[in-house]
Amino acid sequence: MRALGQLFRRIDGPTWLVALVLYGAWVALMVHAVRLPGWIVLPAGAYLVAWHFSLQHEAIHAFRGVPRWLRVAVVYPPLGLWFPFPLYEKSHSTHHRDAHLTIPGLDPESYYVYEADWERMSRWRRALLTFNQTLLGRLSIGPLLRLWTLILREGDRIRRGDRSHLRHWCMHALALGVLFGFISGVCHFPVWQYVLLVAYPGFSLGLLRAFTEHRAATDSAQRTASVETNFIFGIMYLYNNIHVVHHLNPTLPWYEIPRFYRQHRDELLSTNGHFLYRGYAELVRRFLWVPVFRPVLPRSVPRPPTRS
């Protein structure tokens, strides 16, 4: 039995189980979606899409018990619609340069802007970015702002003559065609309802995890948070909510993160400046209407030699 257990972990058995349960549940939900009320489809679909984002994240860093082509194939289906997996992998790998965390132009997942850029912005744009720093804003307009930023970046890339991403977008469009064909043609579930009741709230749930996982701090070791939560949220995020562990050891499989955190909790919280939240309910209480931080990079944060 011990040998079987070791083999199970060596081939990333827990991650395979997540993939099987996730895709099985998604197919079952889609098959029965037209006969289910929206108050069931929305939370179940959103949960599964957010879980799928977490599985894609796991495939970037861990899930190394299988060849890369198989790892990519397992997470490639675009259940969340928005972003080709290879481009997410490229962008997120750039994010993991910890010395550049939260630095605009260097960290593609930063929610900060430089003070000079802030001063040049219109009043309405400042208000929009500030509202996006509230939990209500992040969950409601956050996906739209992320999508708009993506469109601007990819459009700018094409204007500069860089067409290296086009093949990924073509493959993504093909995958979306297959996905929509199954949703509407086989399951008879309207695509617009999938977008509004499944994909969009799923994206919002993904942004809930990322809402306050990083902050601008002088010491880069104090820029990454830990959100201690229950099993339901923990398994949905594959324990990436304990983000301080993930950035310390990105290749640590998701199912080993809780034990590592329990064993080293005091040391980790001492290192990250006790950047800790005790559950997502605390975030709701504190930041539903109040910005989690001002979206201007503080002057105390060391700037890189040049901006890119």
* Residue 135 confidence (pLDDT): 97
Q: Which residues, 6 or more positions from 22, have their beta carbon under 8 angstroms from its beta carbon?
A: 48, 51, 52, 55
CB-neighbour burial class of residue 49 (10 A; exposed 0-12, middle 13-18, buried 19+): buried
Domain ranges of the chain: 2-211
* Residue 308 confidence (pLDDT): 42
Residue segments in the chain with a per-residue pLDDT below the cut of 70: 1-8, 304-308
- Read off the pTM: 0.92
* Residue 303 confidence (pLDDT): 73
Residue 273 contacts residue 225 (beta carbons within 8 Å):
no
The b-or-e profile of 264-298 (16+ CB within 10 A means b, else e) is ebeebeebbbebebeebeebeeebeeeebbebbbe
The 3-class secondary structure across 125-169, one letter per residue, is: HHHHHHHCCCHHHHHHCHHHHHHHHHHHHHHHHHHCCCCCCHHHH
Distance, CA of 82 to CA of 175 (rounded, Å): 12
CA 197 distance to own-chain centroid: 19
Residue with tokens 């001492």: 270
* Residue 305 confidence (pLDDT): 62
Residue with tokens 């675009």: 78
pLDDT above 90 covers a percentage of the chain that reads 80
* Residue 128 confidence (pLDDT): 96
